[in-house]
Each structure stands twice: as C-alpha cells, then as structure tokens.
C-alpha cells in the first residue's frame, strides 16, 4: 500500500461539508430531507438574510446572502429555520473526531472544513480508499454529506473538493492542472476574489492559465506580493504545511497605558478605554483573529492593581464592541478612586474564519450591513477563497482551531442533548 503514496511529495485531503447548516438540520429532523430548506436570520422579518440553503433550494435559484423575501419569491415552498450554533458545533466536533482517527495532522479552517495530511496514513489504505472511508463514516455516523479533494498540496486539494458537490471525491494531480484548472476563469480560483479578478483583467489575464503564464513584474506591480503568490498557485505550487497548531501562537492581544496624571473623571476614563479599544482592534485584525474573552486592568493611584475578565457569547474584533464590553467591565469593577493605568486585553483568540457566532440573528444582520463582503464566511470561502476577508494592514496567518475530541458521536448525536437556550439562537 505504501507504494501508492509518493516517495517525496505529500498527500493532502480537503474535507468540505456540503450545505453544512442545512444538512445538520436535516440530520436532526429527517422530515426536512429532500425539501428546499434555508437557514436564515430574522425569519419573521423581510430583511432576513439566507445563511445557507439546501441543494434542493439552490435549484430554484436561492443563494447564500440572498434576502429572505427574494428567496421566498423564487421558491414559495421554501422551509426556513433559524440557525442553531450549538447543534452545528456538535456536528463539527463529530466530523473532526472522525478525521483525527486517520492522522494527527488535521487543520480545521472553519466549522465545516479542514485539511488532512495523510502522507503517512497508508495503513488505512490508498488515498482514495481513505477518502471513501471518511465520506462513508461521516454519512453513516453523523448523517451528513461531504466532498473531498485529494491532491499534493492544500491549494489543489481545496480546488478539487469544490469540483463535485455534494458527496464528491476528486483527485487533482499537478499534471492535471493545464487541462482541468487553466481553462477556468480567475474568479473560480481559491484565493482570488472578485475585485482581484477584475484587476487582473486590466493586464489581460482572464483565466487561471493566463495567470499561470503571467508576467511577474506586472503581477507584483498590480497586486504586490500576492500577485506572485497567486501565480504560484495557478501553477500548482503551494508549500504550506497542514498545521494543527498554527492558531496557538496567539494567546492574547492587549494594550495598556499609564495616564499622564491620576484621573477620576468617568468621561475621561471612557475616552482612554475608547483609545485602547481601537489599538486592540487594529492588532486583532492584523493577526486575523477575534477575542472570545475580554479583560480590563485597573491600577489605582496607590498602585493597587486589579484585573477583571468576562467570557463573551460572541467573538469580537471591532473597536466599538471592545469598547462597549470594556466599559461594562470597568463600571462593575471601578471603586471610584483616581486611576493611574488602564488596560484592555483580548483573550481566548479564535481565527476569523471559524469564529462562528452564536448570533441572535439581529447581530447577524448588523454584521452583514457593517461588512457586506463578510455576510457569510461560508459563501466567501466557496466562491472567492479565504484571502477575500483580509483588509488593508492585516497580517495573514494560517488558520487552525482545535474543536475538541474525546466525545463519541453517532447518527443520533443531535437528538441526544438539545439545548433549549441555544434553540433560540
């Protein structure tokens, strides 16, 4: 069996759950199977937005990020459910537990997808046999469909998993690139967003093949270092390892300041917290992470120092949210004495792409309006690749998140522990 694996290269799988939220709801309630189903926020209101939908709904033209009223117009029989993130996290844990039974080299990139390096996993069979086994077990144990790409690197594995949905298994070798990838438009390429694709057309690049043969000086002038990177991807070059621990390097991000004089005026102290929140927000964005907990530090004029922290229901990174929570903590903790130093720290950091919110869906709507390109991370990953979420000044880090193991999951895992509180999320 070892002979079926490359002597020098790697074998990478990209496992991508199909229509994940909708599929989980169907596993929870089998009567929904085969019906047009959508997961949406504010299901009672016209301004609700489709988070994801079943393949049956997609046949009617229903799409992720589409307004709910428009989706119902296209598909009057559409069934709509609110998201239940506790349920989705349980399913995610079950899926990753299965993946880790084949290799320890598993890198989650979101709640519903991850990479595996199975180069040394030949004891479980050939790469195709392993992919078939994973797909079968995820379906039998969790009642969830997935697609799997098999390739020598992460980029090609991701491209391969997108080629057959649902329940597809696709092998993409480097020798297949000219025939399979190069004819595709650049906006079909993982890591190339709509705006980047539009920029590429200005220098005559329409297809992935054009990009693969593009002039490096032109590409770097147009897109900076990313221009060289995407040209390498177009040629099937990607040396990134599957790294289960990549997110662990960032434990906390914070900032503090010693005041020029002892201050007891609440308005002045709030202004300091606003400034600290902005700095922490910038640093979180540069690391491409969000904070799941927030801490404040208060040092009084007598040098007595206290720290108070709070676990957040939803991960945050915007300065307004950080400032609001910090002020709440401050008011609960401050004894009214003059203050010498203030600090804010974001803890329990999670990568931007799998910071799946327990949104009351009003929060989802608000976020969608703030950042239209981030309305749903799953849609952007499917269409544009994860680099589309970067903003100016951000520093890209390879995402990884340990969703946990050690719990036994089977087909009935969703029904065993419904959470009333989270049913309403």
Nearest to 162 by CA among 187, 130, 198, 133: 187
* Distance from the first to the final alpha carbon of the chain: 47
**Catalytic: 113?**
yes
Is residue 176 marked as binding? no
Instruction: Give CA–CA dist 24/393, Å, rounded.
Output: 36
* Tokens read off for 201: 């057309």
> Vertex 117, ends 113 and 123: CA angle to 5°?
120
Instruction: Give CA–CA dist 272/274, Å, rounded.
Output: 5
Residues in the chain: 425
Which residues are within 8 A (CB) of 303 and not within 5 positions of it... i.e. 6 or more apart?
340
Cα distances (angstroms) measured from residue 7 to each of 2, 52, 166: 9, 41, 32
Is residue 367 marked as binding? no
Taking residue 3's Cβ as centre, other Cβ atoms within 10 Å add up to 7
Residue for token pair 């379906």 = 139
Instruction: Give CA–CA dist 184/206, Å, rounded.
Output: 9
Do 95 and 235 form a contact (C-beta atoms < 8 A)?
no
Buried b (16+ CB within 10 A) or exposed e, 127-143: beebbeebbeebeebbb
Taking residue 97's Cβ as centre, other Cβ atoms within 10 Å add up to 19
127-142 vs 85-99: helix axis angle to the nearest 10? 150
Do 188 and 170 form a contact (C-beta atoms < 8 A)?
no
Helix (H) or strand (E) holding 58: helix 55-58
Candidates 113, 129, 365, 371; catalytic one? 113
Helix (H) or strand (E) holding 229: helix 225-234
Catalytic residues: 113
For the annotated binding site for Mg(2+), the residues are 16, 112
For the annotated binding site, the residues are 16, 112
């Amino acid at each position: 069996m070892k002979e079926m694996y490359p002597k020098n290269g790697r074998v990478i799988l990209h496992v991508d759950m199909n229509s994940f939220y909708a599929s989980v709801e169907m596993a929870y309630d089998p009567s929904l199977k085969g019906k047009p189903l959508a997961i949406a926020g504010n299901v009672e209101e016209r301004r609700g937005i489709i988070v994801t939908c079943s393949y049956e709904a997609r046949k009617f033209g229903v799409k992720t990020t589409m307004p709910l009223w428009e989706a119902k117009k296209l598909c009057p029989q559409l069934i709509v459910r609110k998201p239940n993130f506790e349920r989705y996290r349980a399913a995610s844990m079950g899926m990753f537990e299965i993946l880790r039974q084949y290799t320890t080299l598993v890198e989650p990139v979101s709640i519903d997808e991850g990479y595996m390096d199975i180069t040394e996993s030949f004891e479980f069979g050939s790469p195709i046999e392993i992919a078939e086994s994973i797909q079968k077990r995820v379906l039998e144990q969790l009642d969830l469909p997935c697609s799997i790409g098999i390739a020598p690197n992460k980029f090609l594995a991701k491209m391969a998993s997108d080629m057959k949905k649902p329940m597809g298994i696709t092998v993409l070798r480097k020798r297949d690139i000219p025939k399979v990838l190069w004819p595709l438009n650049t906006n079909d390429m993982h890591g190339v967003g709509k705006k980047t694709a539009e920029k590429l057309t200005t220098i005559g690049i329409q297809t992935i093949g054009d990009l693969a043969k593009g002039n490096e000086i032109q590409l770097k002038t147009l897109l900076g270092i990313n221009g060289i990177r995407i040209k390498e991807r177009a040629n099937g070059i990607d040396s990134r390892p599957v790294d289960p621990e990549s997110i662990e390097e960032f434990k906390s991000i914070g900032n503090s300041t010693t005041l020029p004089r002892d201050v007891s005026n609440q308005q002045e102290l709030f202004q300091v917290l606003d400034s600290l929140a902005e700095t922490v927000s910038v640093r979180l964005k540069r690391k491409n992470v969000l904070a799941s907990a927030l801490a404040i530090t208060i040092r009084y004029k007598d040098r007595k120092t206290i720290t108070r922290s709070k676990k957040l229901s939803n991960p945050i990174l915007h300065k307004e949210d950080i400032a609001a929570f910090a002020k709440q903590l401050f008011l609960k903790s401050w004894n009214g004495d003059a203050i010498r130093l203030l600090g804010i720290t974001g803890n329990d950091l999670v990568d931007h792409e799998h910071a799946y919110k327990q949104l009351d869906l009003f929060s989802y709507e608000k976020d969608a309006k703030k950042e239209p390109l981030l309305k749903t991370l799953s849609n952007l990953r499917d269409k544009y690749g994860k680099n589309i979420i970067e903003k100016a000044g951000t520093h890209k880090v390879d995402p990884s998140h340990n969703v946990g193991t050690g719990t036994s999951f089977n087909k009935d895992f969703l029904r065993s522990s419904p959470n009333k509180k989270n049913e309403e999320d």
